[in-house]
Structure 1
Amino acid sequence: SDRATCHGMKVEKKAAKTSREGGASLTIKKKKKTDVPAKAAPAAAPKKKLKRAADASESKPKKQKRAAEPAAPSDLSDTAETADTAAADAGCLTNFRLSEATVAALEARGIQALFPIQSATFDLIFGGDDLIGRAHTGCGKTLAFALPTIERLLGLKKVDRSLPKPCRPLALVLAPTRELAQQVGREFAAVAPTLTCCCVYGGAPIGAQCSELRRGVDVLIGTPGRVKDLMGRSALELCDVLCATLDEADQMLDMGFADDMAEILATCTREDRQTCLFSATLPPWVVKEAPKYMRPSPRVVDLVGDKEKKASSDVRHLAIPSPGPMSARSSTINDVISMYTTSSGRVIVFCQTKAECDDLTNSDALKLEAKCLHGDIPQAVREKTMAAFRSGKFRVLIATDVAARGLDMIVDLVLQAKPPMRQRSLRPDEETYVHRSGRTGRAGRKGICVTLYGPRDREAVEQIERFTKNRFEWLSPPNPKSLVQTAAETASGDAAAVPAAACALFHAAAASLLEAKAGDAVEAVAAALALATSTTEVPPSRSLLTNIDGYLTLHATMRSPVNSPSFVWGALRKVLPAGATDGTENVRSLRLTADGHGAVFDVKEALFAAELEAKMGEIEWLSVCDEMPPLQAPPYGDGGKGGGKGGGK
């Protein structure tokens, strides 16, 4: 076989011996294998150097122990620091059959050790086994299949220097999106500069890709559609493919790509072809479907498992109510970005459709510069947009799920305008949530994922929470006044850090301001902070129910059961001026609470100030709503946009 000729039988025997040591992290029933040899590296690599810029992340101690279980079970109770050191030693580059050129390329990027999914799969892939791999997002899956593939190809080319032949690549990597294909291509090129890599995808000139293939390429990375186009033009033959890899395998085997996968892999006719599937999510149907494209009994390496949290634990998962259509959610999106990121923090906002992306990008309520990314945007513009976002030239990227998988970049906040739903069944799409939220909290960093939901979406978010087994924080939406307070605290902290020499330049102006404020130092500083935060007037209130400015949300709590909105409307007429509940101008959007003893509704801010604010202490059953209580699902329509007349319809 190519393995024996490329590396010799001694190497294969050593791999077999290695595969008998340890291996608790691998979901392999018949025979165990280790991630690495038991011998530790001479010295643990410094922690800082273990970080990867684009492909792998530091794992928490628990995950590190799973990836390379020590020989003695008692070691599992060691401290986190000991586990970190053990994982660093186990993943040391010298423990793996990496060529000097590959090691040099990795070290040049600051990589001193492999991460759990990489160390757990290296020997299996290097040995030619078909494999299904799963690990959390941001944990280095690209290098997990790239490194052993590169080493196999380097060995193969040493034996036959005529390889690769024109139009016949030696390795094939298929990715669902153009952006992910480009990223995988960059990873291969960076780690294996001596191999020729070609990345093909739609929207780019096909003539240049045909010319590159005719010159011969070692690794072909591409999207299924363009690969099929090249095959149809006789510019690509896959009969020499030794290693075929499906990145984001669950999406690649889904209904949209299944026929393409069958057609492409059917032309990979090499007898000893190896097939690998990688993803952060592997639904049961994928594990059942995958062997159709592989040899019998493929190996499975699962670093997530059924009992583990499916989404990253380095990410705070927040759920914030935001009713109404996308146009009504724009202000909430703007406020969430202001609340949960710094002035330089980068944000990805995920929308369900291309039209929603366009509407949000053009919304006047979104005060930050934003650009959108979806399938209808020309490829050249998509590439420029991604490059500008990576380099920090703009902060907010509004995208469909073309940006949900695999893309590795520094993102502080992921914001989902709606819970992800499956297109055909309209059921919650838990796997897409895992991938979307995985765009932040990568490479050991912390991140935040916020999901906005309407009254009918809460159940979907709860189902996603149960599936991922990550604890969600259910919060109220930020309001303008809380945003001002946050901005003031930030400005105050920044002002406290200004050097004395710089402050001295403003002493005269500060004295003048203090005099203008009648010597009241607090008033003077408050005025300066208000100006620094661009707050020159009191911001309006905002409804928690509808996100409409100029309204407050009130909570009516009754002792008796409330069976219909008319009960609450009758109580309101007793405390409001005659006619105030008529129409929808003053009081609107009444909704019954889930406990059956109350309701919430919006009141115009001016009416509240004139008629209710002074009476609030006397009206025991009425209060200003700071946090939205659970609500009953509306029986039809929105169940309460009307005014009085007893209905609230």
Structure 2
Amino acid sequence: MSFESLGLAPFLLRALSEQGYETPTAIQEQAIPLALAGRDLLAGAQTGTGKTAAFGLPLLQHLATNSQEVSSGGPRKPRALILTPTRELATQVHDSLRGYSKYLRIPSACIYGGVGMGNQLDILRRGVDLLVACPGRLIDHIERRSIDLSGIEVLVLDEADRMLDMGFLPSIKRILAKLPKQNRQTLLFSATFEESIKQLALEFMRNPEQIQVTPKNTVAELITHRVHPVDGGRKRDLLLHLLAQDSREQTLVFARTKHGSDKLAAFLDKSGIKTAAIHGNKSQGQRLRALADFKAGRVTVLVATDIAARGIDINELPKVINFDLPMVAEDYVHRIGRTGRNGATGEAISLVAQDEVKLLRQIVRLLGRDMDIRDVPGFELQVPIRWGNSAPGKADSDMGDRGVRKTSHARRPHGDAPRHAHAGPKKTGGGRREGGGGAGQARAAQGQGQRRGGGGRSQGSSRAV
């Protein structure tokens, strides 16, 4: 299927062609024709699936081909509103839409908190057709009466689940109350469809078409997942060891707290690895500068809290490292969604201490797939991790002295694959669950993985969770 077959106008097709877009993604194939037909849309799509174009292209075509009612006096009212959870996502969406509308004259603005109001007020006074905004700052403008939303024809809620997670539901409802109820098209995009999302949709959407291009909480198939058990006190040293293996490789590192991100970034920088940090306590200028330096290769490591798990678009990012596991398993999916995009391979590495074992189990169950678990030579555990008997799945057959092959490749020959942590019991051809000695095998594997020294273990060990 081509973009031409979706019903897009020539001025959009020309801009897409010049940017190198040839074939629509699955979400674009399904969403664009429905949106062009004026339908309300409830769309399930993960970050990195091309959802910005899925709602942005029909929105731009609507603005370009439908004339605006001329109001008497005052600036022109915005005709389309896109709400996003974070400043980074707002600027990314705005930049993408400006690229798609290269051959159109559609005045637009991107408004978010963390910066002064002056420039935003100037732009709004001049009048815009398209507004990309974060809920908090948009409420500020509503209260100042510096914006009139009564002319909105198309509303987009991007990453609606994230906005609800961040506590924006009251703000969203206040904004919706300012929008026209008649003749408004609403497009809601969300990675998940929790009950709160469905309830919100029922309140302000008209018989929405529902599409889901990826199962809930799936991750790109080209991402390899690896876990390195480590004593909590040696995490920083292990991270430095992994990063030093190729100090030129761009890596996004996730930490749990803002303070921890700053400390970790300072440690890595002092150790000779060009590092920047990005989190909610940074000013907007600092965050944009850090992201720009990372994209340009001026820094090779970006340490981030979960604020960066969505909305940061970095082409061909090869590696994401979880220095701390997220407290919510779903956030793992959003974190590693920064890599393995658009057909590229990616690597997701997690450093796991004893107090994070339960979090790891939740992630493995959520993914529904295997995860390699192995020691790093020189960083073997001083106190063996107690994986417990309630961990999901069972160990594969014993690897003996074969050890683990080099991990520089995303794919391994089948015969050399390490043992895995399984997401759950597998079914045999006759439908019976494999089980039997599962827990015992896991304990045996754990015992082998804790041996040291003797007998020529080649590259470390692997074990099952």
Q: TM-score, length-normalised on structure 2?
A: 0.80
Q: Deviations over 1:404-463 (max 9, x none)?
A: 103211311001112211xxxxxxx23211111110111211100111211132232122
Which deviations, in whole Å up to 9, do the C-alpha atoms of 1:321-368 show, x marking residues without a partner?
Answer: 12315xx311111222345xx443211001111011011112268541
Q: Which amino acid aligns with 2:30?
A: A
Contact 2:330 2:366 in 1 (8 A): no
Contact 1:142 1:187 in 2 (8 A): yes
CA 1:300/1:598 → structure 2, altered by over 3 Å: closer, same or farther?
A: closer
- Is 1:196 the counterpart of 2:104 in the alignment? no
Please give the alpha-carbon distance, in whole angstroms, between the structure 1 residues aligned to 2:241 and 2:43: 39
Give the match for residue 348 of structure 2. 449
1:545 maps to 382
Tell me the secondary structure at the aligned position of residue 456 of structure 1. helix
Alignment partner of 1:110 out of 12, 20, 38: 20
Match of residue 388, structure 1, among 293, 304, 318 = 293
Q: Kindly report the root-mean-square deviation, in angstroms, between the aligned alpha carbons of the 2 structures.
A: 3.0
Secondary structure at the residue paired with 1:387? helix
> Pick from 147, 163, 176: which aligns with 1:265?
176
Kindly indicate whether the alpha-carbon contact (under 8 Å) linking 2:230 and 2:379 is maintained by their aligned counterparts in 1.
no
* Contact 1:201-1:222 within 8 A present in 2 as well: yes
Note if contact 1:317-1:470 (Cα within 8 Å) is conserved in structure 2: no
Q: Distance in 2 between matches of 1:373 and 1:234?
A: 32
Q: 1:600 to 1:362 in 2, by over 3 A?
A: farther
Determine the C-alpha separation between the residues in 2 that align with 1:148 and 1:138: 19
* TM-score of the aligned structures, taking structure 1 as reference length: 0.58
| 8 A Cα contact 2:324 2:351, kept in partner | yes
Residue among 50, 72, 90 paired with 1:181: 90
Instruction: State the distance in 2 between where 1:97 and 1:163 align.
Output: 34
1:409 equivalent to 2:257? Answer no
| One of 137, 160, 163 as aligned partner of 1:249 | 160
Give the counterpart letter for 2:230 in structure 1: S
Match of 2:79 in 1: 170
Partner residue of 1:627?
461
- Output the CA distance in 2 between the equivalents of 1:135 and 1:598: 38
Residue correspondence of structure 1 range 399-548 to structure 2 within 5 A: 399-410=304-315, 411-421=317-327, 429-476=328-375, 478-479=376-377, 541-545=378-382
The residue matched to 2:179 in structure 1 has which SS?
coil
Instruction: Please tell me whether the aligned partners of residues 374 and 463 of structure 2 are also in contact (alpha carbons under 8 angstroms).
Output: no
Judged with a 3 Å threshold, the aligned counterparts in structure 2 of structure 1 residues 366 and 348 are, in CA distance, closer, same or farther, namely farther
8 Å contact from structure 2 (residues 84, 158) kept in 1: yes
SS at match of 2:113: coil
- Residue 236 of structure 1 deviates from its aligned partner by 0.9
| Alpha-carbon offset, residue 238 of structure 1 | 0.9
Question: 2: CA distance between counterparts of 1:222 and 1:143?
Answer: 17
Taking the aligned partners of 2:74 and 2:202, their CA distance within structure 1 comes to: 28
1:130–1:294 CA contact under 8 A, matched in 2:
no
Q: Does structure 2 conserve the Cα–Cα contact (< 8 Å) formed by 1:199 and 1:222?
A: yes
* Cα offset, 1:542, TM superposition: 3.8
2:247 is the counterpart of 1:336: no
8 Å CA contact 1:333, 1:366 repeated in 2: no
Is the CA contact 2:275–2:301 (under 8 Å) kept in the aligned structure 1? yes
Question: Residue 470 of structure 1: SS of its match in structure 2?
Answer: coil
Alignment correspondent of 1:346: 250
Q: Given residue 370 of structure 1, which amino acid in structure 2 is its aligned partner?
A: T
Checking the alignment, whether the CA contact within 8 Å between 1:465 and 1:472 is kept in structure 2 is yes
> Match of 1:357, as an amino acid?
S
Aligned residue number for residue 10 of structure 2: 100
Measure the CA separation in 2 of the matches of 1:602 and 1:125.
Answer: 56
Partner of 2:274: 369
Shift of 1:131: 1.1
Q: Which amino acid aligns with 1:402?
A: I
Rounded to whole Å, the distance in 1 between the matches of 2:382 and 2:313 is: 36
Matched residue type, 1:119: E
Gaps of 5+ in 2: 385-440
1:131 aligned partner: 41
Q: How far is 1:270 from its partner?
A: 4.3
Confirm or deny: 8 A CA contact 1:242 1:270 kept in the other structure.
no
Distance in 2 (alpha carbons) for counterparts of 1:114 and 1:293: 31
Q: Tell whether the 8 Å contact from 1:369 to 1:396 is kept in structure 2 after alignment.
A: yes
Contact 1:275 1:293 in 2 (8 A): no
Q: Which moved more, 1:396-405 or 1:461-470?
A: 461-470
Describe the superposition over 1:479-498 as per-residue Cα deviations: whole angstroms up to 9, x where unpaired.
3xxxxxxxxxxxxxxxxxxx
> What residue ranges of structure 1 are gaps of 5+ in the alignment?
1-89, 422-428, 480-540, 547-552, 554-592, 618-622, 632-649
Q: Quick one: distance in 1 between partners of 2:73 and 2:6?
A: 25
**Residue 321 of structure 2 aligns to which amino acid in structure 1?**
L
Match of 1:355 in 2: 259
Q: What does 1:559-578 align with in structure 2 at a 5 Å threshold? A: none
CA distance in 1, matches of 2:371, 2:445: 26
Q: Is contact 1:137–1:442 with CA below 8 Å preserved after alignment?
A: no
TM-superposed deviation, 1:105: 1.1
> Partner of 1:166: helix, strand, or coil?
coil
Question: Which residue type is aligned with residue 141 of structure 1?
Answer: K
SS of the aligned residue for 1:184 comes to helix
Corresponding residue for 2:395? none
Label 1:154 to 1:598 Cα distance change in 2 as closer, same or farther (>3 A). closer
Aligned residue among 125, 129, 143 for 1:218: 129
The alpha-carbon deviation at position 226 of structure 1 amounts to 0.7
Greater Rg over alpha carbons, structure:
1
Q: 1:163 to 1:314 in 2, by over 3 A?
A: farther
Asked whether the 8 Å contact 1:98–1:151 carries over to 2, the reply is yes
Matched, 1:155 2:65: yes
- Could you tell me which amino acid in structure 2 is paired with residue 412 of structure 1? P
How many residue pairs match? The answer is 405
Superposition misfits of 4+ residues, deviation over 6 angstroms: 161-165, 596-603
Report the Cα offset of residue 286 of structure 1. 4.0
SS of structure 2 residue aligned to 1:457: helix
Q: Distance in 2 between matches of 1:106 and 1:191?
A: 6
Deviation string 1:490-516 (CA, Å, 9 cap, x unpaired) is xxxxxxxxxxxxxxxxxxxxxxxxxxx
Shift of 1:160: 4.4
Percentage identity across paired residues of the two chains? 31
Aligned-partner SS, 1:253: helix
Change (3 A) 1:292 1:384: same
**C-alpha distance in 2 between matches for 1:172 and 1:462:** 40
Cα displacement (A) at 1:168: 2.1
Shift in Å, 1:276 = 1.4
